[in-house]
Amino acid sequence: MEEHALLFWISMGLMSAMVGGAMRKILATHVSTGPTMAAWLGVTMLVERLSSLGLPAVLALAALGAVCLLVPYWSPPVAPLPTEGRAVFITGCDSGFGKSAAQKLDALGFEVFASVLDLSGEGAQELQRVCSSRLTLIQMDITQAQDIQQALARTKAKLGLRGLWGLVNNAGVCVNFGDAELSLMSNYKGCMEVNFFGTLSVTQTFLPLLRRAKGRIVTVSSPSGEQPFPCLAAYGASKAALNLFINTLRHELEPWGVKVSTILPASFKTGQSSNSEYWELQYKHLLQNLPPALLEEYGEEYMLETKQLFQQHAKMANEDLSPVIDTILDALVSPRPKVRYYAGPGVGLMYFIHSYFPMSLSDRFLQRLFVKKKVLPRALQKHGSNSSDSHNNNNIDKGSPNRTQTSTSYWRTWHIYACNKVKQGTVG
């Protein structure tokens, strides 16, 4: 009797945790909660009855899992919305997600406005060559207010009295790598300038057109904005600010009929992620601008390993962008678009571990998933630093330019480099 009671309470405890987690997800996705809660209560009663009949807790949980797997298939399929006559504005179309999305949406009949940094660049030229006459290329740097206003004027001129059905916020950059303490202030500002303030400015500017059409806002963000990926503090902080802004906007635009979705991609080869010249430039600039004492504490070998790990991770990134492009399309044409889309292999598992596992296990999973560091900072190594390493680091510092001046002006220099190299493709 006591064994049966123990099995019952184990099954009920596990089930309560699962139901509680599921309800939290349901409330976060704005799904109609009435029928769903009724279904979960029914499952709860079923598991309770199975337990009372003496069946093992494992069997009861297996029944619950089977129901969870089958529930999505009970909903009848809903036809997507028509694409003809609907206009979509996409940022960051020089390469990556933006370029692929522009081609896909144009092929499906959307009227696409594709913003690029360089109208004469390879990406813009390819879009002009392969897409229909419906596509409009617009030169726009999302950090420049004048560019955004000119883009709005061109869009309104073509739309006339029509509203804008979709805004795809895709443009973004990752301008640094390394520990939070090693990241220069110019890198934090650079990420915020593009990923947050730039996207904020574009969204605010085009909102009147979106409200007129009761359209959609689709934003390509990153899991690093919600989870503490090692060595991505600057990029993650900018995406965290973006995520909060977009979620707040989602609540505020609900009365206007504008639906807002966020896409959280896995690792894909986009933008400068596979550009070895870019990573070398970042690495050299970091060495030149770190305070000598801090460089001595961490050691150049520690930072070199970080750079190499980033490059290895970029090489293993997925080249098939279709998971992200498919979610962008679904967010634009589904009658009931999701609030959040997990695009790419492994993202769902990562969020499951982040949501339901202890934080210690979740942190360890992220550390192993992203950068598997083997080299300790020099100050933490048992034998400490040797004189030759210190001498080499001093030589590096002596050849560096004025630190304050370089750090302050770096964002401007990097931004010119970005325009020349077409850096406004999203880094997922």
Which of 318, 341, 369 is at the close of a domain? Answer: 369
Question: Tokens 């804008």 correspond to what residue?
Answer: 164
- What is the dihedral angle through the alpha carbons of 215, 222, 242, 234, rounded to the nearest 10 degrees? -160
Same domain, 44 and 158: no
Q: For residue 129, give every residue at least 6 positions away whose Cβ sits within 8 Å of its Cβ, in sequence order, or none.
A: none
Return the amino acid letter for 416.
I
Shared domain for 69 and 114, answered yes or no, is no
Residue 126 in domain: yes
- Could you tell me if 301 and 363 lie in one domain? yes
398 occurs within a structural domain: no
Examine the domain organization and report whether 200 and 53 are in the same domain.
Answer: no
* 410 a catalytic residue: no
pLDDT of the residue at 415: 47
> Is residue 428 classed exposed, middle or buried when 0-12, 13-18 and 19+ CB atoms within 10 A define those classes?
buried
Cβ(270)–Cβ(351) under 8 Å?
no
Does some domain include residue 404?
no
143-146: list long-range contacts, CB under 8 Å, 24+ apart.
143/193, 143/194, 143/197, 143/198, 143/415, 145/201
Whether residue 164 contacts residue 155, with contact meaning beta carbons closer than 8 Å, is answered with yes
Give pLDDT tens digits along the chain (428 positions): 555 556 556 656 655 555 555 555 544 444 444 555 555 556 556 655 655 555 555 555 566 666 655 555 555 677 889 999 999 999 999 999 999 999 999 999 999 999 999 999 999 999 999 999 999 999 999 999 999 999 999 999 999 999 999 999 999 988 767 899 999 999 999 999 999 999 999 999 999 999 999 999 999 999 989 988 888 899 999 999 999 999 999 999 999 999 999 999 988 877 666 677 777 888 888 888 899 999 999 999 998 888 888 877 777 777 889 999 999 999 999 999 999 999 988 888 888 888 888 888 888 887 777 777 888 998 998 655 444 444 444 443 433 444 334 433 444 444 444 444 444 444 44
Q: What is the pLDDT of residue 425?
A: 43
Q: Are the CB atoms for 220 and 97 separated by under 8 Å?
A: yes
What beta strand segments (E) does 55-181 contain? 87-90, 111-116, 136-139, 166-169
Spot the catalytic one: 235, 278, 341, 342: 235
Answer whether residue 428 is part of any domain: no
Residues 172 and 279 in one domain: yes
CA 229, CA 226: separation in Å to the nearest integer?
Answer: 9
What pLDDT does residue 256 have?
97
The domain tally of the chain equals 2
Report, in angstroms and rounded to the nearest whole number, the Rg of the chain calculated over CA atoms.
25
Q: Which of 351, 369, 387 is the last residue of a domain?
A: 369
Q: Are residues 39 and 97 located together in one domain of the fold?
A: no
- Residue 130 inside a domain? The answer is yes
Q: How far is CA 202 from CA 7, 152, 169, 207, in A?
A: 56, 9, 8, 9
**Burial track 164-203 (b if 16+ CB lie within 10 A, e otherwise):** bbbbbbbbbbbbbbbeeebbbebbbbbbbbbbbbbbbbbb
Give the model's pLDDT for residue 101.
Answer: 97
* Those residues with Cβ within 8 angstroms of residue 277's Cβ, 6 or more apart along the chain or in another chain: none
| 43 and 172 assigned to the same domain | no
pLDDT for position 398:
38
Domain of residue 38 covers 2-74
251 falls within a domain: yes
Q: Would residue 409 count as lying in a domain? A: no
427, containing H or E segment:
none
Q: What is the pLDDT of residue 66?
A: 62
Q: Give the three-class secondary structure for 264.
A: strand
**pLDDT confidence of residue 370:** 73
Domain check: are 35 and 101 in the same one? no
For residue 275, give Cα distances in angstroms to 188, 271, 316, 341.
Answer: 21, 8, 13, 28
- Say if 141 falls within a structural domain: yes
- Per-residue model confidence (pLDDT) at position 52: 57
Say whether both 338 and 263 belong to one domain: yes
Q: Cα dist. 304→77, 286, 301, 394 in Å?
A: 51, 11, 5, 16
Q: What's the rounded Cα separation, in Å, for the pair 64 and 57?
A: 11
Structure tokens at 344: 């790419």
Nearest to 109 by CA among 137, 78, 131, 77: 131
CA 200 to centroid of chain Cα atoms: 15
- Runs of H (alpha helix) within 144-232: 145-159, 185-191, 199-213
Same-domain pairing of 25 and 156: no
Identify the CATH number of the domain in which residue 114 sits: 3.40.50.720
Kindly state whether residues 307 and 180 are assigned to the same domain.
Answer: yes
Start-end of H helices in 110-198: 122-130, 145-159, 185-191
Last residue of a domain, one of 369, 386, 419: 369
- Amino acid 53: pLDDT: 56
Same domain, 222 and 178: yes
User: According to the model, what pLDDT value does residue 23 have?
Assistant: 52
